[in-house]
Amino acid sequence: MIYNAYFKSPIGILEIKSSATHIFSIEFVEESDFEKQQINDLIHDCILQLTAYFSHQLHQFELPLAFNGSAFQNKVWQELQQIPFSTTCSYLQFAKKLGDAKCIRAAAAANARNPFAIVVPCHRVIGSNGKLVGYAGGLWRKQWLLEHEQAISLQTKLF
């Protein structure tokens, strides 16, 4: 059985889909049907973690994710999770982390197909010139997420 639910975040509605054992996707949507949600324990935990993230209380998500892409896409999505909270890296740096600077376009394409918004932090990958480029949820969301994480890091350092 596939379960689904919606989460109202400060930057838009996220649709969460899961089985009883794994999250399949977390994606921004324009339309939602809160009356037809099917929430299981896993989605409930995901919503709690997203709430904690947006409330400045969570830096690392711990959810069982079902990576259903090609071998290369799965490698990219796994590597994205290694980018530390509130830091960024360029697409070129990221391609080098994957082992081949020449795979920069393929890495960017896989990054764009990331099915786990926020939880797999593709928003932390930026252009080599430091500019924000490419985010499936929109560049304004990418900027918001990076500023949100910077504020949390700054707050943590002050206390």
- Work out the mean pLDDT of the chain and round it to a whole number: 93
Please answer whether residues 53 and 14 qualify as being in contact, where contact means their C-beta atoms are separated by less than 8 angstroms.
Answer: no
- Is it the case that residue 77 has pLDDT exceeding 60? yes
Nearest to 60 by CA among 43, 83, 41: 83
pTM higher than 0.85, yes or no? yes
- 128-143 pLDDT per residue, tens: 888 998 888 899 999 9
pLDDT at position 154 is 63
Please tell me the distance from the alpha carbon of residue 130 to that of residue 90, in angstroms, as a whole number: 7
pLDDT at position 86 is 92
Q: Which residues are catalytic?
A: 122
- 87-123 pLDDT per residue, tens: 999 999 999 999 999 999 999 999 999 999 999 999 9
- 39-52 pLDDT per residue, tens: 999 999 999 999 99
Please tell me the distance from the alpha carbon of residue 2 to that of residue 97, in angstroms, as a whole number: 34
Confidence tier at 157 by pLDDT (50, 70, 90): low
**Single-letter code of the amino acid located at 34:** F
